[in-house]
Amino acid sequence: MQTYRDLLEALEAYLYLRNFRPGTHRSYLSSLRMFFRYRRVQGWQGDFTVEQARSYLVARHRSEVSWITVNIDYSAIKMLYVEVLKQTWDVAATPRPKTLSQLPRILSKEEVQRVIFSARNLKSQAFMLFLYGTGLRISEALAVKLGDINSDRLQLRVQCGKGGKDRYVAMPDQLIPVLRTYYKVYRPAVYLFNGEKMGSSWKMRSAQMAIKKAAQQAGITKAVTAHVFRHCYATHHLENGTNLLFLKKQLGHKDLKTTQQYLHLCTLTQVQVHHPLSKLEINLLQTRSARYSGSTGSAI
């Protein structure tokens, strides 16, 4: 009889072998721990059944957690049943939650500028400009290493993005001096946005908190997250006339329909590229703290 710990270890091994991202590991294992706790509370023992999975997912729906959360729960439990327990998954009896048709939240160009330059330090400013300038997901941005940037070709290599795929992203030329200024002050090693320990990447929670504080400082009442900058990148590009297929490749979307959602938020789609970052008036802070030593040179 396998214990819950055995099942978690078996699923984690499967995720490693399939080369799922660390964030997926954390999400799926967390979902299964909650499912196991539910089984204990219900007094269920022995075999796992589809009825148990359906009961748990219905309970999660009724607790009014987000569709995204329930969808992750569904995927984790289905993977447990099919890949670890080797059971047949009855899709008719336990269908996947229907996707909600919601348009993404975006900011105006003026609001984007207010948020970025309301940040209290250069690192936060540079990070938000990087998100808005490249359209990367926050996990992709935090994983960027110094060697991934080719300033001569104005290209950025995204390694193992969503779906485990690499891609190249075009960078606007206005972003290069921003990154060089940031580099001269912070001197990151390995990762572009360094964490507290040299050679480590900036923590996602810390990066999101920096964005939240900048939005509050700017007086923006909308919820502003790193992903909002990705939505703004896509929408403002289309408003400036950038081609939809170019954006699909930039954003790393598998299906053009995913990129087309931004057409609902803007007008004018022409075969040209006008980066919205070129419209911002960039006024960076020049130091990280009073201890700034005035170092020169750049790896970017």
Q: Answer yes or no: 262 catalytic.
A: yes
- Beta-carbon contacts of residue 254 (< 8 Å; ≥ 6 apart): 163
- CA neighbor of 246 nearest in space, from 256, 232, 257, 236: 256
**Is 230 in the active site?**
yes
Establish whether 16 is a catalytic residue.
Answer: no
Cα 201 to the center of its chain, rounded Å: 15
Contact 167, 144 (CB under 8 A): no
Q: Which of 114, 162, 274, 279 is catalytic?
A: 162
Q: Is 249 a catalytic residue?
A: no
Active-site residue (options: 123, 137, 236, 275): 137
Cα 226 from Cα 172, distance rounded (Å): 19
At a CB cut-off of 8 Å and minimum separation 6, what does 130 contact?
A: 136, 141, 175, 178, 179, 192, 193
> Which is catalytic among the residues 54, 212, 253, 288?
253
d(CA 95, CA 58) in angstroms, rounded, equals 11
Single out the catalytic residue among 60, 109, 230, 275. Answer: 230
How many helices (H) and strands (E) in the chain?
12, 3
Catalytic residue among 60, 182, 262, 275: 262
**Cβ atoms of 141 and 126 closer than 8 Å:** no
Q: Phi/psi class of residue 215: alpha, beta or left (left: φ > 0; alpha: ψ in -120 to 50)? A: alpha
| Residue 18 exposure: Cα atoms within 13 Å on the Cβ side | 14
Choice among 39, 167, 227, 249 that is catalytic:
227
CA of residue 217 relative to chain centroid, distance? 23
Note if 137 is an active site residue: yes
Beta strands 149-150; 155-158: pairing state: antiparallel
DSSP string, 210-247: HHHHHHHHTT--S---HHHHHHHHHHHHHHTTB-HHHH
Residue 227 designated active-site: yes
- Supply the residues annotated as catalytic: 137, 162, 227, 230, 253, 262
